[in-house]
Structure 1
Amino acid sequence: MSCLGMAFAVVLFLTGLASYHGFNLDVEEPLVFQEDGASFGQSVVQFDRSRLVVGAPLEVVTVNKTGRLYDCTPATRGCQPISLNTTSEAVDMSLGLSLAASTHLSQLLACGPTVHKACGENMYIKGTCLLLDSHLQIIRTVPAALPECPSQEIDIAFLIDGSGSIDRADFKRMKDFVRAVMDLSKGTDTQFSLMQYSNLMKTHFTFSQFQTARNSRSLVDPIAQLNGLTFTATGIRKVVRELFHSRNGARVNARKIIIVITDGEKFKDPLQYSDVIPEAEKANIIRYAIGVGDAFQAHTARRELTTIGSMPSEDHVFMVGNFAALSSIQAQLQEKIFAVEGTQSRTSSSFQHEMSQEGFSSILTM
């Protein structure tokens, strides 16, 4: 072999050796640290050469404070809980689900992915990390503060059935339901308008009038029933063309929603749904249809309701047996309309930790 070939072989050999690091594992007399904290040992890092930091992310420390870190010393074979004064925002963060130690500086990053933040009727799940110094005291929190609640604009127009087939008591129950839905929007950037229909159409309040109103009761309580026939398709067209217009306070970038409440099929309406639904879809208006009463046991009535609602029907069409049962769908409707990606309703468990990505893993490079 030539000298050049020998040199090349040696370089390759040394390169191969350099990629391996040796370590010893004591299997005869291992050190065992035990604590009663829930999930103690979920995460472990060696810190400052002489000790270990161990996470117990499910340990309940106090009310609204979940997760604890332990300082474990091999010399004493014992662990002590680390006292940390976290911010008031760090609610149930599951501190210690992930840990990372600096290889150069004596610093530790401890993270929790389940910080709860309420925004209106929704609960957001965020992640927070604590950067600790060599004395295991907080240097700073990452991020310094939780993000502000999102300000997604939502414009919701109610189209309520005021035809003669609805008795006075049920019409009042429908108004109570409308008011309850409006009250659920507190803490969100949502505005409302309302039109009542029979064979007559009446706008009771626009988005502009909602902006200046004292409360939902002052807008909804004065509404009197029109009576008459059931022109549902005509009502939808009128809402699309009139209420969702800038002159009535509709916002350009808002998510547009119409909620139609009816007790049966349209009757003697000069318009078909094929005349009006494409217009609503072109305007990007999401349609929720609520059918109330026995009429929707009939296949034709159910089919009409699914035509009114957006697709998929299971997310946009609701049926209840009577007007008293409207309250039973408030939470479902709230979740469909106001809940956003990464959130869960305070009263619902649709999302648990599926969206809590921040803090599940961590790395410290300084």
Structure 2
Amino acid sequence: MLVNKEKEKMSGQGTLSLLTCMAAIETDTIKYIGLSMAGQSTSPPTFTACSPGLAHECDGNSYLNSICQECTKKIVDLVFLIDGSGSMTGDEFDESKGFINNIMTTLKNSSIKFAAVQFSSTARTVFDFNDYQEGRALTNLTNEKHMAHLTNTYQAIDSVLKNIFENQAAGATADATKVLVLITDGTSSDSDRNYNSIKRSDEKNIIRFVIGVKNVDLKKLKFLASEPKENNTFLIQDYNGLKGILDNFQKKIFNIQETDTIKYIGLSMAGQSTSPPTFTACSPGLAHECDLNSICYQFNSQLQITSNFTPAFQECTKKIVDLVFLIDGSASMTGDAFEKNKGFINNIMTTLKNSSIKFAAVQFSSTARTVFDFNDYQEGRALTNLTNEKHMALLTNTHQAIDFVLKNIFENQAAGATADATKVLVVITDGKPSDTDRNVNSIKRSDEKNIIRFVIG
């Protein structure tokens, strides 16, 4: 109820998703970028054009560089190793299969080849790289039955090394980048003493992502992952959480296969044999960057003969955004967790410090207290105030706190609020509200004021 309906999909996805959403709130106007050109008086004339923002597309993504490029891609052999042990229900096993299907569908036009293995007491190939390339993968995945026995994880990794990654008959490519994605909900039933599978995986430079579900020991999960283990280990509460990490996980996988080599892309040019020569250059991908938000557009106008033509770079225009962090300081939160929330806020502000976003923060418990307002942020006091903020450690009066933010921050010019700014509220909480919204009507009032609300539980 706290979050705007259109933002529901973002709840719980963390820093990356929040940064992406913040960047999207700022808007760009599409304008031209300058081209640097040099001509030589030959007949016909020869010349070179270099743009500060030529863009190119690679698998549907736009890339901005100061040089002209076209992308080349590594071949990636990726194996999903899915837990089929008895601790998992049939519905949960199907959730894992759905997650795999979503990843493959999204990345179907990439240079990634997929395979999948289910493991329990033994390991069984669901589909190999040949099956994927020949169109049998989805059928095999759909028909795969739940084994429902033990959790022999190390034996399964050993099987993947021998029978998939190192097996050309399974469609493996010898010099491919190798990625293993392990999805598990239990501690291994076996040990790695006989297989030495983790050391062998490290020696073969196999990138290993580990997704742990439910009550899995995080330390044991990290042991299975490759370096950097913090970035390659995911822990979610249940199998429904696979949907929550999908976007972030897809980006991690996609970035593995993407490399650029420096090559020229075609520029449409027209020259006139005058002295000095005159010419016009039109690029199929003029682009510019605005903070985190990149706008790429096509330049399709007809070539024209013109003299000394250099389109001037124009800055993007951005909305002013007033963003308030509303952080839970109730007693259900430990001191360490409260400090981590402060660190999260600091990271967001640091990343977006050159944007058009102004920040404020309020801690709430039984009452609400301003940590720093928009003036404090603009005058450089925000970080000191945030660092010095003490944990209240009482109740969780969330609706009262939202009411406080509306009155004392968003609607208060003395706090540095801008009347026509886009208003964003980020609520970070670990418990149900102790109060109700009956007396303050904070959610309805927030909706009426078009306040964008993100909730991180």
TM-score (norm 2): 0.47
SS in 2 for 1:311: coil
Q: Quote how far apart the aligned CAs of 1:306 are.
A: 0.3
Secondary structure at the residue paired with 1:336? helix
Q: CA deviation at 1:102?
A: 5.3
Find the residue that maps to 1:327 and give its secondary structure: helix
Contact 1:125 1:342 in 2 (8 A): no
**What is the CA-CA distance between 1:118 and the residue it aligns to?**
3.0
Change (3 A) 1:266 1:100: same
Greater RCO, CA 8 A, separation 6+: 2
Q: Structure 2 counterpart of 1:190, which letter?
A: I
- Is 1:313 matched up with 2:193? no
Matching residue within 143, 146, 149 for 1:225: 146
Cα distance per residue 1:2-40 (max 9 Å; x no partner): xxxxxxxxxxxxxxxxxxxxxxxxxxxxxxxxxxxxxxx
Structure 1 match to 2:127: 205
Aligned residue number for residue 287 of structure 1: 208
Query: Deviation at 1:205?
Result: 1.1
Please report how far the alpha carbon of residue 247 of structure 1 lies from its aligned counterpart in structure 2 after TM superposition.
2.0
Residue 245 (structure 2) aligned to one of 319, 329, 347: 329
Query: In structure 1, the residue corresponding to 2:55 is in which secondary structure?
Result: strand
Alpha-carbon spacing, 1:225–1:108, altered in 2? closer, same or farther (3 Å)? same
Q: Which portions of structure 1, spanning 4 or more consecutive aligned residues, are displaced by more than 6 angstroms? A: 103-109, 349-353
Q: Which of 52, 55, 61 is matched with 1:116 structurally?
A: 55
Bigger radius of gyration among the two: 1
C-alpha offsets along residues 33-61 of structure 1, whole Å, 9 cap, x if unaligned?
xxxxxxxxxxxxxxxxxxxxxxxxx862x
Cα deviation digits, residues 116-167 of structure 1 (max 9, x gap): 3332254322456xxxxxxxxxxxxxx6xx52x4231000011100001111
| 1:1-366 equivalent positions in 2, closer than 5 A | 60=30, 66-67=31-32, 95-96=33-34, 99-100=36-37, 111-120=50-59, 122-127=61-66, 147=70, 149-213=71-135, 216-244=137-165, 245-267=167-189, 269-272=190-193, 275-293=196-214, 295-296=215-216, 301-339=217-255, 340=258
* Alpha-carbon offset, residue 288 of structure 1: 0.8
| CA displacement at 1:334 relative to structure 2 | 1.6
**CA RMSD in angstroms, aligned pairs only:** 3.1
SS at match of 1:150: strand
User: Structure 1: how far apart are the matches of 2:97 and 2:220?
Assistant: 23
CA distance, structure 1, for counterparts of residue 246 and residue 110 of structure 2? 16
Q: 1:107 to 1:321 in 2, by over 3 A?
A: same
Q: Distance in 2 between matches of 1:276 and 1:350?
A: 43
**Per-residue deviation at 1:342?**
6.6
> In structure 2, what residue type is equivalent to 1:338?
F
Distance in 2 separating the partners of 1:238 and 1:180 = 25
* Equivalent-residue separation in structure 2 for 1:319 and 1:253 (angstroms): 31
Contact 1:161-1:230 at 8 Å conserved across structures: yes
Q: Partners of 1:121 and 1:100 in 2: how far apart?
A: 29
Q: Conserved in 2, the CA contact under 8 Å of 1:164 and 1:228?
A: yes
CA contact (8 A) 1:153 1:254 kept: yes
Structure 1, unaligned runs of 5 or more: 1-57, 61-65, 68-94, 129-142, 344-348, 354-361
* Other-structure match for 2:301: none
CA-to-aligned-CA distance 1:180-230 (integer Å, 9 cap, x gap): 11112222121111110111221111112222125x532311111000011
Which structure 2 segments of 5+ residues have no match? 1-27, 262-289, 295-309, 311-457
C-alpha contact 1:162 1:171 (8 A) present in aligned 2: yes
Q: Distance in 2 between matches of 1:103 and 1:153?
A: 42
2:73/2:260 contact within 8 Å kept: no
